[in-house]
Structure 1
Amino acid sequence: MAAAGRTPIPPHEVETTAMRAQGAGGQNVNKVSSAIHLRFDIPRSSLPEDHKARLLALRDGRINRDGVLVIKAQQHRSQDMNRAEAFGRLQELVDSVAQAPQARRATRPTAASRQRRLEAKKLRSQVKLMRSPPQD
């Protein structure tokens, strides 16, 4: 069930692997595979083509050369909570590209802004002239 404004991600297209978490945690972290490694193959997914293109165009270090998004969640002690967090991050990323960005309309500078720019250039020129040694 997809909420309003959400792009549904079929669970069968997401590959999750449980592994041991890194960092502090003592015996629990050394024994329990609570971290989740989530892999989502963007080009082979059933997402709309425009969503795929915008996802692949992101400059995100989690997306590798082959277009596979890799998310690692190891914040929580529970594997289920880490899995939920990883899926949440994936959904958030997909939803962020769901709506196409508005096209930029080219505008021209106003007459007043052009005037201010020229005045600033003249002032700067005068400052630089004052720094130069006197001419004979």
Structure 2
Amino acid sequence: MREARPATMIIVTPVIQLDENELQFQFKLASGPGGQNVNKVATAAELRFDAAHSPALPDDVRARLLTLAGSRMNKDGELLITARRFRSQERNRQDAIDRLVVLIQKAAEIPKPRLKLKPSRAAKQQRVAEKRRVGEKKQTRRPAGSSGDYD
């Protein structure tokens, strides 16, 4: 029988700390290198984190995380991360946790508001001058005596 680990906190940012008990792991057979070991030992780690109901996430971070996660988030708000890069279960488990932390850190960054800028007067004049120059170039290509109207 497995002993319950004491709850450890995963520090994501100074404000956000995840309780390790919020993470559920499932280990599966991984594809790739590993020789015969790959067929016998479940080394791929599948991490499930219920982001929609986690008390550790502020609402604004949760909303940005839903957007950032994309297809890794299911309709119930569970984030699914699969790690199979390494040949040991523990390293894949740590890799999945690290990837979750990075994703939450990105979601915790407040995006800068976009500043609407108008083109400067000089830029407008430059654009009009370029249009005029292109128009004059096309005028010179026209055959002599042509008024430009089509019959």
Deviations 1:63-111 (A, max 9, x none): 2333221111011111111011100000000001112111122222111
Aligned with 1:126: secondary structure? helix
Distance in 2 (alpha carbons) for counterparts of 1:19 and 1:26: 16
Deviations 1:17-66 (A, max 9, x none): 11111123220110011110011121111211111011112263322333
Question: 2:12 touches 2:101 (CA, 8 Å); kept in 1?
Answer: no
TM-score, scaled to structure 1: 0.86
Amino acid in structure 1 at the alignment position of 2:102: E
Unmatched tracts of structure 1, length 5 or more: none
Aligned with 2:70: secondary structure? coil
Unmatched tracts of structure 2, length 5 or more: 1-8
CA RMSD of aligned residues (A): 2.2
Find the partner of 2:135 among 117, 120, 125. 125
* Aligned-residue offset at 1:114: 1.2
Aligned with 1:22: secondary structure? coil
Moved more, 104-113 or 124-133: 124-133
Is 1:98 the counterpart of 2:108? The answer is yes
Distance in 1 (alpha carbons) for counterparts of 2:111 and 2:143: 53
Moved more, 50-59 or 77-86: 50-59
Question: 2:12 touches 2:105 (CA, 8 Å); kept in 1?
Answer: no
Which is higher, the Rg of structure 1 or of structure 2? 2
Is 1:79 the counterpart of 2:68? The answer is no
Distance in 2 (alpha carbons) for counterparts of 1:13 and 1:54: 19
Is 1:25 the counterpart of 2:34? The answer is yes
1:48 corresponds to: 58
TM-score, scaled to structure 2: 0.78
Distance in 1 (alpha carbons) for counterparts of 2:69 and 2:12: 27
1:115 corresponds to: 125
2:21 corresponds to: 12
Aligned with 1:65: secondary structure? coil
1:66 corresponds to: 76
1:126/1:4 CA distance change after superposition, 3 Å: same
Percentage identity across paired residues of the two chains:
39
Aligned with 2:93: secondary structure? helix
